[in-house]
Structure 1
Amino acid sequence: MTSRTPATRSRKAPGPNQPGRLRGIDAARGLALLGMMATHLLPTFESNANLTPTWIGLTFSGRAAALFAVLAGVGLALSTGKHQPLSGPDLAKARRGVALRALVIAAVGLTLGNLEVNVAVILVHYAVLFLCVLPFLGLGAKSLCAWAAGWILASPVLAYLLRPWLLAAEPPLKLGHNPRWEDLGTPGQLLGDLFLTGYYPVVQWLSYLLVGLAIGRLVLAKALVPVLLLVGGTVVAVTAKAIGVAAIEDWGGLAALEKVVNAPGYPLGSVLQVNLAGLPQDGSWWWLASAAPHSGTPLDLLHTSALAAAVIGACLLLGRLAEWIDLDLLLPLRGAGAMTLTLYTVHVWVLSNFYLKPLPAGWTEDGMYFAHAAVAITVGVVFARLSWRGPLEWLGHAAGQLGRGVLPRPATAGSR
């Protein structure tokens, strides 16, 4: 979605192969998509009594989805003025466009929610995050950094205090499944799940969009900005993770949490390394000291946000290298990254066809993952070469343009 002022209204929006588009951002989005596919298709724990984490779980769990969310904020910043945020009527139009685009994403997510699939679909939460971030679209980088820091610190505490109250309601304000159309009839449960009790709690995950907005408000074309993102993000990510590990393993956190869980033999240490989403986090403030994936604690949000910033910085640097040597090194990633909504939707639909069914003869989990990844990359490359939008990307773009009062163009080559 491209921001237009009266002076540039007749210009053609930059396509995927045009210099106006930051190829590194699309590449980072493609990397996030492949990482999320890995956590969906490959085991994150070994099948043993101790639930030993696999390298997939240790590498991608919590991080791929966070990168996806941070990039959503970056994309919103780039479409609403880049380092000079819109204001006045232009900002109001942009907000309407983002809101209508969010409705399209929500509709896709609610439709996927009707599928039987062993995947926590992010799209409805993603759409709600778009709506929640609307008040912040007119802010500059410094204000957004302050808001992001405050949200990372305060939102987990708020969630820790409110979540037990929501779960104690009768019935509990938690869905236990992906949001779907029929859940609109029980708004209390739906909103409770979306904001606090679900897999991607919006209250904490808004931190990612605020971080992404702050990154997108930087002058990403400057030579030092990607380097600062890479180096600074790496240092902060490593530090946050180290503090979280020390708090749990060396400062008494694990012993305190094992008493709260009160399940002898439960491999809490392994779960804390990979995914804490399915475990109630109440009864001890030590939960907030971990940096466990999907825990939504300050250290988890800080670690994953900083790592996302580092990945974005690295991809931007690779994009510059590709331009310097005149070789499109990032095409496989950026092609897929430019149409993640379509590819993610098809990926979830395909997975639903194998739900509770054995894999086809001769197929392995690794083979299934590489098939999904290869198809995503191939389709992305073809669409990028033809300068086409993905079908759902075009629909979201058209909704955004209508919100801005601009008549959308047909989804033909060069119209991206």
Structure 2
Amino acid sequence: MTSRNPARAPRKTAAGQVPGRLYGIDAARGIALLGMMATHLLPTFESNAGLTPTWIGLAFSGRAAALFAVLAGVGLALSTGKQRPLAAGELSAARRGVALRALVIAAVGLSLGGLEVNLAVILVHYAVLFLCILPFLGMGLKQLCAWAAGWIVGSPVLAYLLRPWLLAAEPPLQLGHNPGWEDLATPARLVADVFLTGYYPVFQWMSYLLVGLAIGRLVLSKALVPVLLLAGGTVVAIAAKVLGVTAMEDWGGRAALEEVLNAPGYPLDSVLQVNLTGIRQEGSWWWLASAAPHSGTTLDLVHTSAVAAAVIGACLLLGRLAEWIDLDLLLPLRGAGAMTLTLYTAHVWVVSGFYLKPLPAGWTEDGMYFAQAAAAVLVGMAFVLLKWRGPLEWVGHAASQLGRGQLKLPR
């Protein structure tokens, strides 16, 4: 509702920002989107016998997707009362809105699952995470911190115990592809894959949304909070990674896992640095001591959550700087971050068009990435400046408003 009193209307800066708006959150989403696109389009390993990790793999693998998930929790906190969670009727309405929005995201994800594409689509798992987090939306900061800590410690252990049983089934309860509409015909297999045996195991990834909810319950507009997120996140991220590397390299973890794998010459050291997906983590408790990307261990969850917190803190600080110098420094990133569902969907669709096909003459992997990244930034900026929602964001917003009972139909 717009104020009719000019004295009470929000003051806009010359750059178009409204003071107090958390543009840093959208900017962080933009970073997550561009980072995920980088891991999809650019090599994470060098094409040599040892599979030497590239800087893309070392920088973004596991971290970009985790940032995306943590920001989902932050967004949910901001839309359900910020530091004062909603209660009673308002909370029930908000939950209905989140649930209907999740169904929109799931429908998009299941549709993308029908494409032939060599990348793991996160949207179905993302939607299920939205549904699973519903009971936690009414919790305050202390409760969320306790739940997040418990989930980060406990879920990897339970997953380690359950995965061998699910994979030993005949056929194994693992899809081996992106969930699509046809997988609804085998619900047990679909649920097992989405929660435990797939690329983005919801069971452990609930940790990210709980961390995000806790971050969103902080008073993010206070000057000190972004500094604490940046500094604390950086320290915790480094500590978790150092502990994981020490366990693998100095305490005998990697040697023990190589014996379990019994695959001489397998570049486990490189895989532990970039992506543990595809390895059946069973037969040794040492698997739980690594901090490898996409391992879903406690140290991995702590490291990637802390990186996400640091990125969010840095973006919020840049947003403060932008207000201070009256220049929208974050526009390129926050534009893309304001319509990630539409841009991510378009990205997957474009990549599918080149599946098992050579790139156009004169194009390289680097060129393909920078072209798509530039398109995402430019389209996002245009939509923000025009004050438009992305097409899929509009549908998701309408579903959320419908669930809350606030949808205004045209007369």
Inter-CA distance 348–408: structure 2 relative to 1 (3 Å threshold): farther
Letter of the aligned partner of 1:313 in structure 2?
G
What is the alpha-carbon distance in structure 2 between the residues aligned to residue 72 and residue 178 of structure 1? 21
What is the alpha-carbon distance in structure 2 between the residues aligned to residue 194 and residue 385 of structure 1? 37
CA deviations 1:332-386 (Å, max 9, x no partner) are 0000000000000000000000000111000011000000000000000000101
What is the alpha-carbon distance in structure 2 between the residues aligned to residue 405 and residue 225 of structure 1? 34
Matches within 5 A, 1:61-210: 61-210=61-210
| Alpha-carbon contact 1:17-1:387 (below 8 Å) kept | no
- 1:409 CA drift (Å): 6.8
Residue aligning to 2:48: 48
Q: Secondary structure in 2 aligned to 1:143?
A: helix
| Alpha-carbon contact 1:17-1:384 (below 8 Å) kept | no
Q: Which moved more, 1:152-161 or 1:20-29?
A: 20-29
Residue aligning to 2:5: none
CA deviations 1:157-197 (Å, max 9, x no partner) are 00000000000111111000000000000001100000000
- 1:142 CA drift (Å): 1.0
Q: Secondary structure in 2 aligned to 1:291?
A: coil
| Alpha-carbon contact 2:19-2:323 (below 8 Å) kept | no
Inter-CA distance 247–400: structure 2 relative to 1 (3 Å threshold): same
- 1:92 CA drift (Å): 0.2
What is the alpha-carbon distance in structure 2 between the residues aligned to residue 360 and residue 349 of structure 1? 17
What is the alpha-carbon distance in structure 1 between the residues aligned to residue 267 and residue 220 of structure 2? 43
| Alpha-carbon contact 1:144-1:213 (below 8 Å) kept | yes
What is the alpha-carbon distance in structure 2 between the residues aligned to residue 149 and residue 305 of structure 1? 11
- 1:21 CA drift (Å): 3.3
Residue aligning to 1:285: 285
| Alpha-carbon contact 1:69-1:126 (below 8 Å) kept | yes
Inter-CA distance 20–174: structure 2 relative to 1 (3 Å threshold): same
Inter-CA distance 319–353: structure 2 relative to 1 (3 Å threshold): same
| Alpha-carbon contact 2:17-2:328 (below 8 Å) kept | no
| Alpha-carbon contact 2:175-2:198 (below 8 Å) kept | yes
CA-based RMSD of the aligned residues comes to: 1.5
What is the alpha-carbon distance in structure 2 between the residues aligned to residue 192 and residue 19 of structure 1? 45
Letter of the aligned partner of 2:93 in structure 1?
K
CA deviations 1:81-125 (Å, max 9, x no partner) are 000000000000000000000000000000000000011000000
Inter-CA distance 402–120: structure 2 relative to 1 (3 Å threshold): same
| Alpha-carbon contact 2:110-2:181 (below 8 Å) kept | yes
What is the alpha-carbon distance in structure 2 between the residues aligned to residue 175 and residue 18 of structure 1? 46
Residue aligning to 1:22: 22
TM-score, normalised via structure 1 length: 0.94
Residue aligning to 2:404: 404
| Alpha-carbon contact 2:17-2:323 (below 8 Å) kept | no
**2:374 is equivalent to residue 374 of structure 1:** yes
**2:262 is equivalent to residue 262 of structure 1:** yes
CA deviations 1:241-268 (Å, max 9, x no partner) are 0000000000000000000000000001
- 1:408 CA drift (Å): 4.3
CA deviations 1:129-182 (Å, max 9, x no partner) are 000000000001111011001000000000000000000111111000000000
Letter of the aligned partner of 2:321 in structure 1?
L
What is the alpha-carbon distance in structure 2 between the residues aligned to residue 21 and residue 135 of structure 1? 27
What is the alpha-carbon distance in structure 1 between the residues aligned to residue 393 and residue 210 of structure 2? 22
| Alpha-carbon contact 1:398-1:408 (below 8 Å) kept | no
Letter of the aligned partner of 2:157 in structure 1?
V
What is the alpha-carbon distance in structure 1 between the residues aligned to residue 113 and residue 127 of structure 2? 14
| Alpha-carbon contact 2:164-2:282 (below 8 Å) kept | yes
| Alpha-carbon contact 1:80-1:91 (below 8 Å) kept | yes
- 1:17 CA drift (Å): 4.9
Letter of the aligned partner of 1:382 in structure 2?
A
| Alpha-carbon contact 1:70-1:209 (below 8 Å) kept | yes
Inter-CA distance 408–238: structure 2 relative to 1 (3 Å threshold): farther
Residue aligning to 1:8: none
| Alpha-carbon contact 1:27-1:334 (below 8 Å) kept | yes
Letter of the aligned partner of 1:129 in structure 2?
L
Unaligned runs of 5+ in 1: 3-10, 411-416
What is the alpha-carbon distance in structure 1 between the residues aligned to residue 221 and residue 65 of structure 2? 25
| Alpha-carbon contact 1:109-1:124 (below 8 Å) kept | yes
Residue aligning to 1:222: 222
Inter-CA distance 358–409: structure 2 relative to 1 (3 Å threshold): farther
